Chain A
Amino acid sequence: MSEFPTHKYDVLVVGAGGAGLRAAIEASACGVSVGLVCKSLLGKAHTVMAEGGIAAALATTDDRDDWKVHFADTMRGGQYLNHWRMVELHAKEAPQCVRELEGWGALFDRTADGRILQRHFGGHKYPRLAHVGDRTGLEMIRTLQDHGVHRGIQVHMECTVVTLLTEADRVIGALAYDRDTGRFRLFSARAVVLATGGVGRAYRITSNSWEYTGDGHSLAYHAGAELIDMEFVQFHPTGMVWPPGVRGILVTESVRGEGGVLRNARGERFMFKDIPQLYRDQTAATEEEGWKYTQGDRNSRRPPELLTRDHVARCIVREIKEGRGTPHGGVWLDISWIKEKLADSAAHIQRKLPSMYHQFKQLADIDITKEPMEVGPTTHYIMGGIRVDPETQMSAVRGLFAAGECAAGLHGANRLGGNSLSDLLVFGKRGGQYAAAFAKEHSDGEVSSKQVDESVRGALRLFEAGTASDEESPYRIQSDLQDLMHDLVGIVRTEAELVRAIDEIGRLRARAGRVRVRGHREYNPAWHTALDLSHLLTASESIARAARERRESRGAHFRDDYPANDPASGAVNLVVRKSEDGSMQIRRLSVPEMPEELKRIIKESV
């Protein structure tokens, strides 16, 4: 085996967003040695982009809230495909996790009596999101980062994992490379926590950065873990659409939470036209009632703009498709109208939505206190991910844990806004805790030199000269994949398109085999893109295959050829696994049966 710098940790955490940091902190608190690797610099992960807030039933702003309501809201939002136990743990443990953050220095916005202020968000019955203006994610990641660096965690920044190393059915480490030198690094670990985030780069229009290439999904899949709910990709209803360079950048749901409304080119509040049965009793009857709700009136119901993201995104797509879109192919999102209601509306908007104000002013020359924003759906999040045990976050591979976006089960068919940040805290903590426990009970593994050498050879092969005539550029293939996923596996799907997509992904994989990279190994983005591409293709294929298999419409998955819910499909999750022959297999798995007591909570919450 070639010699590489080698590090030995009890627990290796891959990814340093909210989930990874929280897992590392917890594992370290359990008294084991912890290594943390992240693709970027510390504090730059996608958590930083989260704007609206952390969902937790603290009941500081509305005392009617409690974990039961949060539980029922999350199950309903996920159209009952969620794993009930994860939803229960999440709803019960989120408040304590938020208070814990405050104890580590986070400064949330306050209520008049000095407690944590909570705001309204789509699908949450009561104001539930602890927030800091519209930069909650930054507050959260910085708090975890600043707390974590004093906990003896060894951080390897700009370090990317290429392969998980296994021994029989157990994970025992990882092979990674340093971005700056392009040299490999070997990690030996008794337990590994994946916290790698999502797959947004599989799509043309996305709020995700270059990092989100499904690494954790793909690493786990190839190590023998199962993926679940991969057909459910969240398209956030409001991304920027103009100018072209900023297309896809997120416009926080808080704009709607603070009273912003959606209108089509004709000026109609089109969201009032289509309110799903599941939410009819919870939705405002008039525009006035909706406004009152956003201003904290306890007797009003939510405006239809605050319905779940899947539904709002589809309504926007319908308006655009039917010719009622704005000049650049979006719809209007207007917060400036509140000047009719509030005397100091401009100052109010700047205080409540400072980064949105800044973003539009600087990137689009739009003053959101005076004019509406042009918005359209953007790929934002994947509900699907590594299938884990709800208590411990361990996957089917022993010693391999997953938390945050790359894990699945909490969100079902659609994630509610604000539930991702709480997910990171609750399950990051659990993942870290149980990974530490696993590490204490197991000895080190024996790294196989064959596995390491193969992986190194695969990564370096990209530098070997090919025949110039059929050489491929990694950027080109990634861009073709993004177009393909967007056009064929997007918000609205059909059988024929999905079949074509699966076929085309196979062709792209063949082309990816001909990718050649020029230059050196030091900070070479072409090489990194080529390595990430293989993860992206695996994740994309699993999305397309699961989407084809689910022949109904539910949550974020909408089939034009099967537009209705199908009760039989609604009783199963789809599980993706690599078979013996290396092909991708899908099986149906019954949704876990909920205890009667929890069923009752859901019934009573309507």
Chain B
Amino acid sequence: MPKATFLIWRGDRQAGAFHEHTTEVSEGMVVLDALHQIQAEQANDLAVRWNCKAGKCGSCSAEINGTPRLMCMARMSDLPKDAPITVEPMRAFPPVRDLVSDVSWNFEVKKRIKPFKPRPPDAEDGSWRMAQVDVDRVQEFRKCIECFLCQDVCHVLREHRFHDRFVGPRFLVHVAALEMHPLDTEDRAEEVAKAGGLGYCNITKCCTHVCPENIKITDNAIIPLKERAVDRLYDPIAKALRVLGGRGATRAKT
């Protein structure tokens, strides 16, 4: 059976280093399988976060040969065989142990975003009518599995460490999903522009490239949000109308 060599980052909150491990590779294996094999045979205490092993839960995010990816969807056969494969934790977040990083900041950010607020039901049984075509674009955003790979790759968080003033692509997608939801009546334009740090994104599309769900984060979520924020906050006519007609008056859910 062919073998593969890994350089796995092992360490804790303070320090760490790459450790070399070699293991056998069988057909169809993914990186997560190889790590589990190493864990069972050579390094029992190797810390790896994972769950579904089918690309649906977004737990096993890591950096493979420098690229943020889900370990359960990274096939060994697609990786170069002539050099060791490096695996390290997501670097935009503090390390916990080995391949596990502390992603709790993401959960705190979400709590700060205004929740969904629907219009009153259309029917007596408490249900609504919505056309599939209006639902489609929000469904794209709701495919997000919260793997936080987009957060990891984003230079605003990764290099500049602006975690205190920028919510990151994941939560811009979240805000876009709420803002474009056919039933939602809340207004988050100011919130996302100011506290959310929308302006820090300079649309390099790195997030779109690493999204395992192929969500067009930049084109479909962030750019429309930027346009919306500009309309809402800086368009003098709209602003005047809003003052005259009250908050919700000029706000159409487009």
**A residues apposed to B, CB below 8 Å:** 40-46, 48-49, 96, 99-100, 102-105, 107, 109-110, 113-116, 132-133, 135, 138-139, 142, 146-147, 149-150, 155, 157, 180, 209-211, 242-246, 249-250, 355, 358-359, 362-364, 473, 475-476, 479, 517-520, 522-527
Is residue B51 contacting chain A, with contact meaning CB distance below 8 A?
A: yes
Contact of B59 (CB < 8 Å), options: A41, A475, A524:
A41
A523 touches B115 (CB 8 A): no
Chain A residues contacting B91 (CB-CB under 8 Å) are: none
B111 touches A180 (CB 8 A): no
In the assembled complex, how far is the CB of residue B69 from the closest CB belonging to chain A, in whole angstroms? 12
In the assembled complex, how far is the CB of residue B62 from the closest CB belonging to chain A, in whole angstroms? 14
Knowing A103-B121, A105-B116, A518-B44, say if A44 contacts B28 (CB, 8 Å): no
B26 touches A244 (CB 8 A): yes
B54 touches A147 (CB 8 A): no
What is the bound-complex CA distance between A155 and B178, given in angstroms?
A: 23
Contact of B103 (CB < 8 Å), options: A41, A103, A522, A523:
A41
Is residue B139 contacting chain A, with contact meaning CB distance below 8 A?
A: yes
B28 touches A363 (CB 8 A): yes
Closest residue of chain A to B144 (Cβ to Cβ) is: A142
In the assembled complex, how far is the CB of residue A261 from the closest CB belonging to chain B, in whole angstroms? 23
A249 touches B44 (CB 8 A): no
Knowing A40-B51, A209-B50, A525-B39, say if A519 contacts B44 (CB, 8 Å): yes
A525 touches B46 (CB 8 A): yes
Contact of A363 (CB < 8 Å), options: B47, B73, B138:
B73
B132 touches A146 (CB 8 A): no
Is residue B58 contacting chain A, with contact meaning CB distance below 8 A?
A: yes
Chain B residues contacting A146 (CB-CB under 8 Å) are: 110, 115-116
B57 touches A150 (CB 8 A): no
Is residue B48 contacting chain A, with contact meaning CB distance below 8 A?
A: yes
Apart from A115-B129, A149-B107: 9 A-B pairs, beta carbons within 8 A = A110-B131, A135-B56, A146-B110, A146-B115, A209-B51, A209-B52, A246-B28, A518-B44, A525-B44
A522 touches B12 (CB 8 A): yes
Task: Give the residue among A42, A114, A116, A520 with the most B Cβ atoms within 10 A.
Answer: A114
In the assembled complex, how far is the CB of residue B136 from the closest CB belonging to chain A, in whole angstroms? 9
A150 touches B55 (CB 8 A): no
A475 touches B44 (CB 8 A): yes
B98 touches A523 (CB 8 A): yes
Contact of A244 (CB < 8 Å), options: B27, B55, B116, B135:
B27
A210 touches B51 (CB 8 A): yes
In the assembled complex, how far is the CB of residue B33 from the closest CB belonging to chain A, in whole angstroms? 4
B29 touches A157 (CB 8 A): no
B146 touches A43 (CB 8 A): yes
Knowing A209-B51, A359-B54, say if A107 contacts B138 (CB, 8 Å): yes
Contact of A44 (CB < 8 Å), options: B27, B30, B51:
B51
B51 touches A243 (CB 8 A): no
A110 touches B135 (CB 8 A): yes
Is residue B238 contacting chain A, with contact meaning CB distance below 8 A?
A: no
Contact of A49 (CB < 8 Å), options: B57, B75, B116, B143:
B57
A138 touches B145 (CB 8 A): yes
Chain A residues contacting B53 (CB-CB under 8 Å) are: 209, 246, 249
In the assembled complex, how far is the CB of residue B132 from the closest CB belonging to chain A, in whole angstroms? 4
In the assembled complex, how far is the CB of residue A398 from the closest CB belonging to chain B, in whole angstroms? 33
A210 touches B50 (CB 8 A): yes
Closest residue of chain A to B110 (Cβ to Cβ) is: A149
What is the bound-complex CA distance between A116 and B126, given in angstroms?
A: 12
Is residue B198 contacting chain A, with contact meaning CB distance below 8 A?
A: no
Is residue B7 contacting chain A, with contact meaning CB distance below 8 A?
A: no
Closest residue of chain A to B102 (Cβ to Cβ) is: A180
A48 touches B181 (CB 8 A): no
A102 touches B26 (CB 8 A): no
Is residue B204 contacting chain A, with contact meaning CB distance below 8 A?
A: no
B97 touches A522 (CB 8 A): yes
Is residue B105 contacting chain A, with contact meaning CB distance below 8 A?
A: no
Knowing A49-B56, A149-B110, say if A364 contacts B28 (CB, 8 Å): yes
- A–B Cβ pairs within 8 angstroms, 8 of them: A46-B52, A48-B51, A49-B52, A103-B126, A104-B116, A109-B135, A138-B56, A250-B54
- B:95-141 near A, CB below 8 Å: 96-98, 100, 102-104, 107, 110-111, 115-116, 118, 121, 125-132, 135, 138-139
Contact of B127 (CB < 8 Å), options: A99, A139, A479:
A99
Chain A residues contacting B146 (CB-CB under 8 Å) are: 43, 142
Chain B residues contacting A150 (CB-CB under 8 Å) are: 111, 115
In the assembled complex, how far is the CB of residue A65 from the closest CB belonging to chain B, in whole angstroms? 14
Closest residue of chain A to B40 (Cβ to Cβ) is: A475
- B:65-100 near A, CB below 8 Å: 73, 75, 96-98, 100
Contact of A245 (CB < 8 Å), options: B33, B46, B55, B183:
B33
Chain B residues contacting A519 (CB-CB under 8 Å) are: 44-45
B143 touches A135 (CB 8 A): yes
Chain B residues contacting A355 (CB-CB under 8 Å) are: 55-56
Chain B residues contacting A115 (CB-CB under 8 Å) are: 127, 129
In the assembled complex, how far is the CB of residue A563 from the closest CB belonging to chain B, in whole angstroms? 34
What is the bound-complex CA distance between A139 and B138, given in angstroms?
A: 12
In the assembled complex, how far is the CB of residue B16 from the closest CB belonging to chain A, in whole angstroms? 13
Chain B residues contacting A522 (CB-CB under 8 Å) are: 12, 47, 96-97
Chain A residues contacting B205 (CB-CB under 8 Å) are: none
A147 touches B115 (CB 8 A): yes
